[in-house]
Amino acid sequence: MIKKWGLAFFLSMSAFSAHAAAEGIVTTEERAIYDATTNEQIGRIMPNVYYETLYDTTKQFYVQVETATGYVLKDEAVQPADLQVRTPKNTMVTIATNGETTFYKGTDFREKLYVAAADRRFFVTNETNDYYEVLLFGQAAYVKKSDVREDRGIPVLLYHHLLRDRENENYRNNSTVDPLTFIIQMEYLKDAGYETITLDDLYAYINGEKNISAKSFALTFDDGLSTTQRYAYELLKAFNFKATNFIITSRIPPVERLFDPSTLQFLSLKNMNSMRDVFSFEGHTHNMHYFMTGSCGALVCGTAEAVAADIATSLAVMPHNYFAYPFGQHKEETTRLLKRANISMAFTTRKDYVHVGEDLYRVPRIDVQRSMTFPQFKALFE
């Protein structure tokens, strides 16, 4: 079943508003559509078809396409035009294209409206057994269900400790993954054509500000363990993958130590600075990564004053915009304190995919554990 999102979020977006008369363009020849943030070509528009525009600059017309915006270059073949536009139905789901995919003006699938590249996401306004209706350029467009797939959202993977089985004497728990397993997983994603996105990208996607390919994922590590440098850094650099490490700032050592797999060792500031071409570093509390009472973490069971002070200290040691809850635990007061500290987004350990309109302070992640088999890992992406 395709996930439905909060209607209020989408109706607040300008492209989904009703217009008495919309400004737009008509082109006499096929023209490329480019992503407004990456400038990559993501599709083509058809000649003699109306396309609503959001705004224009001296060189581009900007349009609503996929889940955010794109643009077409201004030239002699592209002319301004007007058209009455209806309001879409109040049902929003998302799909992704399988390959280069044609969207049509009608359900007879005769007149082309738009040709999208592979693995692009679109909001759906209606559906039947045979086709989806989407809103493109301020008007209804139709795509055959056989040409697209349900979009589950963006997976945000979560890892902790990487340690070889033969050297792992003390940490044979589900949070410790053998580096060989990690290599196999990353090689699979690279070979399958997946690319990483940064948390800045994810934040923009959630807010409806950026188009993200359906072959994208985010990669995160919790706790700031030194094994991320030892076993993950060079591989991710070779694959041009980006990742985020959530740091417990009280555990940052003043100096580096020789590697010792029998103990937990953490990244120094020098280590972090040497990894910034691959990793970004965000917050995981200063000193509240422990259970205070039974299974209740300090971030939840501590006083509001103590939590606020801890967040402030963490930010002072290492400025950051994003945050991961220790053990995934949080409550309303926790999110309130993070907002007050100008933290923009916070991550849980709730297993799910990330969608446009997600609660920015309860972003889900998928914990990749030692017990996860390779078929189970593949199933996250298939």
d(CA 197, CA 215): 10
Cβ–Cβ < 8 Å for 220, 368: no
Cβ–Cβ < 8 Å for 154, 220: no
What stretch of H or E contains 222? strand 216-223
Q: For residue 96, give both structure tokens.
A: 């992704």
d(CA 218, CA 199): 7
d(CA 226, CA 272): 10
Helix 332-340 with 304-317: angle, nearest 10 deg: 40
CB-facing half-sphere around the CA of 280: CA atoms within 13 A:
20
What stretch of H or E contains 144? strand 139-144
For 14-31, the three-class secondary structure string (H helix, E strand, C coil) is HHHCCEEEEEEEEECCCE
| DSSP bridge pairs for 296 | 293
Q: What angle do CA 240, 243, 244 make, to 5 degrees?
A: 160
According to DSSP, the β-strands at 291-293 and 216-223 are unpaired
Tell me the pLDDT tens digit for each residue of 286-342: 999 999 988 899 999 999 999 999 999 999 999 999 999 999 999 999 999 999 999
pLDDT at res. 92: 59
- Reading the chain (382 residues) residue by residue, the pLDDT tens digits are 333 333 333 433 433 333 334 488 888 889 999 999 899 999 999 888 888 888 899 999 999 888 889 999 998 888 887 654 433 333 357 899 999 999 999 999 999 999 999 999 998 989 999 999 998 988 899 999 999 999 999 999 999 999 998 887 777 778 899 999 999 999 999 999 999 999 999 999 999 899 999 999 999 999 999 999 999 999 999 999 999 999 999 999 998 888 998 899 999 999 999 999 999 999 999 999 999 988 899 999 999 999 999 999 999 999 999 999 999 999 999 999 999 999 999 999 999 999 988 999 999 999 999 999 999 999 999 8
Compute the CA torsion angle 251, 257, 260, 261 (nearest 10 deg). 40
Tell me the pLDDT tens digit for each residue of 252-274: 999 888 899 889 999 999 999 99
pLDDT at res. 208: 86
pLDDT at res. 68: 85
| DSSP bridge pairs for 93 | 124
Q: DSSP assignment, residue 129?
A: S
d(CA 197, CA 154): 10
d(CA 344, CA 135): 30
Contacts of residue 332, Cβ cutoff 8 Å, sequence gap at least 6: none
* Closest alpha carbon to 171 in 241, 263, 253: 263
Q: For residue 169, give both structure tokens.
A: 């004497």
Contacts of residue 324, Cβ cutoff 8 Å, sequence gap at least 6: 220, 222, 246, 282, 283, 284, 346, 347
What domains does the chain contain, in order, with CATH numbers? 7-150 (no CATH), 156-379 (3.20.20.370)
* CA-atom Rg of the chain in angstroms: 23
| Identity of residue 142 | Y
Classify residue 321 as exposed, middle or buried by CB count within 10 Å of its CB (0-12, 13-18, 19+).
Answer: middle
pLDDT at res. 261: 87
* pTM greater than 0.85 (yes/no): no
What stretch of H or E contains 282? strand 279-283
Tell me the pLDDT tens digit for each residue of 212-235: 999 999 999 999 999 999 999 999
**Exposure pattern of 247-283 as b/e (b: 16+ CB <10 Å)?**
bbbebbeeeeeeeebeeebbbbeebbeebeebbbbbb
Cβ–Cβ < 8 Å for 68, 16: no
Q: How many residues does the chain have?
A: 382
